[in-house]
Amino acid sequence: MHAFSIGPYHIPHPVMLAPMAGVTDRPFRQMCRNLGASFVVSEMLSCDLSLLKTAKTQFRMNHEGEPGPIAVQIAGAEPKTLAEAALFNQQNGAQIIDINMGCPQKKVAKKKCGSALMAYPDLVAEICQAAVTAVDIPVTLKTRLGVDSDNQNILEIAQIAEQSGIKALFIHGRTKAQKFKGSADFKLIKQAKAAVSIPVIANGDIDTPEKAQAVLEITGCDGIMIGRAAQGNPWIFKQIQHYLETGTHCAKPTHQEIVDVMYQHVKNLHNFYGEFTGCRMARKHIKWFLKGLQLDPITRQIMKIEQAEEQLKFIQNNLIHKVA
């Protein structure tokens, strides 16, 4: 299992955390890193610097106490504003800038941002060049296969990215039109990997160690990114890494481990966002953690709790001390 680098940053193993809006905040990134992710990327930040004062953006820009490299993802459609945002984030502590051309969501795509940009190769070149020129840290690019099944131009985009000075390419194996439906297609990622010499990382539907190994073998990629499969299962990074190295499965986390890590994560969310917002943010994470534990009545009860302290107390009384 080979390591690789993004610019001067050594990536020790190929199992990375994919950026997900509303999920990969600082507490989630820290948890995934502690449990084996080799690389993490912030939630998407808008290039609109007028939004800097909003609470949402302030939380997304917070990297205190995180180990490097600090990778910040930015989204926009104008080369000039993307370049300004890249420079601003470098000055704010970013060590790698990632440009988002992968988000398929309507509110992003309708502004000609995210994966909608793949329909405009010349603009992609301008954006990449502007960002690369604006900063003296590595710039990476996150894309999809194209806008729809008739316009899968990832090969052209990959070559444009490399020529523009992009240092690594993260490719989700679906088109913009697919969003998260259907299956990820890794054949085109394989072709893109063969067409460039920069590191290429595959993303999409990788949810088991076997799938991870198969995707690496099919594509020849340098790494893989885990997204939704890490929700409620941050152990997946170690599980995949262990399997890639040994061909065997490591022990699954016990009920106790799952509840302990969940408790700590909920606590971190409260500390990060404050009790009111933290309590609400924690609900979806609690749901993800408890999904496999067949504790439906308890899950339903905990979803109704309005206070942070009560949330933690409930976990302690009903889960930590009750789970064998």
Answer whether 306's CB lies under 8 Å from 279's CB.
Answer: yes
> Which residue type sits at 261?
V
Confidence class for position 322, pLDDT limits 50, 70, 90: low
Residue that wins the pLDDT comparison between 97 and 299 = 97
Confidence class for position 147, pLDDT limits 50, 70, 90: confident
Q: What percent of the chain has pLDDT over 90?
A: 72
Confidence class for position 321, pLDDT limits 50, 70, 90: low
Please tell me the predicted confidence (pLDDT) of residue 178.
Answer: 80
Q: Respond yes or no: is residue 103 known to be catalytic.
A: yes
Q: In what order do the strands lie in the sheet with 200-203?
A: 15-17, 223-226, 200-203, 168-172, 139-143, 96-101, 71-75, 45-46
User: Catalytic: which of 103, 113, 128, 279?
Assistant: 103
Residue that wins the pLDDT comparison between 178 and 137 = 137
Residue that wins the pLDDT comparison between 117 and 265 = 265
Could you read off the pLDDT of 31-90 as tens digits, one per residue? Answer: 999 999 999 999 888 777 766 667 677 777 778 888 889 999 998 889 999 999 999 999
DSSP strand pairing (45-46 vs 71-75) = parallel
Confidence class for position 221, pLDDT limits 50, 70, 90: very high
Backbone angles phi, psi at 189, to 5 degrees: -65, -40
Residue that wins the pLDDT comparison between 52 and 201 = 201
Is the pLDDT score of 130 beyond 50?
Answer: yes
Please name the residue that has the structure tokens 């302690």. Answer: 316
Could you read off the pLDDT of 227-269 as tens digits, one per residue? Answer: 999 999 999 999 999 999 999 999 999 989 999 999 999 999 9
Residue that wins the pLDDT comparison between 214 and 148 = 214
Residue 39's CB is within 10 A of a number of other CB atoms, namely 25
Beta pairing partners, 73: 98
b/e per residue 155-171 (b: at least 16 CB within 10 A): bbbbebbbebebbbbbb
Contacts of 314 (CB under 8 A, 6+ apart): 301, 302, 305
Is the pLDDT score of 107 beyond 70?
Answer: no
Please tell me the predicted confidence (pLDDT) of residue 324.
Answer: 45
Q: Cα 86 vs. chain centroid, distance in angstroms?
A: 18
Is the pLDDT score of 115 beyond 80?
Answer: no
> Which residue type sits at 283?
R
Rounded distance between C-alpha atoms, residue 199 and residue 192, angstroms: 11
Rounded distance between C-alpha atoms, residue 187 and residue 211, angstroms: 14
Task: Name the DSSP class of 23.
Answer: T
Give Cα separations from 94 to 84, 161, 164, 276 (angstroms): 13, 20, 20, 29
Residue that wins the pLDDT comparison between 221 and 68 = 221
Of residues 207, 298, 226, 301, the one with CA closest to residue 255: 298
Residue 197 structure tokens: 């010499």
Segment 169-194 mean pLDDT: 90
Segment 89-111 mean pLDDT: 80
Is the pLDDT score of 123 beyond 80?
Answer: yes
Q: What percent of the chain has pLDDT over 70?
A: 93
Please tell me the predicted confidence (pLDDT) of residue 269.
Answer: 97
Contacts of 197 (CB under 8 A, 6+ apart): 162
Is the pLDDT score of 220 beyond 80?
Answer: yes
Mean pLDDT of the chain: 91
Length in residues, the chain = 324
Q: Lowest mean pLDDT of 1-5, 234-238, 316-320, name the range.
A: 1-5
Counting Cα atoms < 13 Å in the Cβ hemisphere of 124 gives: 29
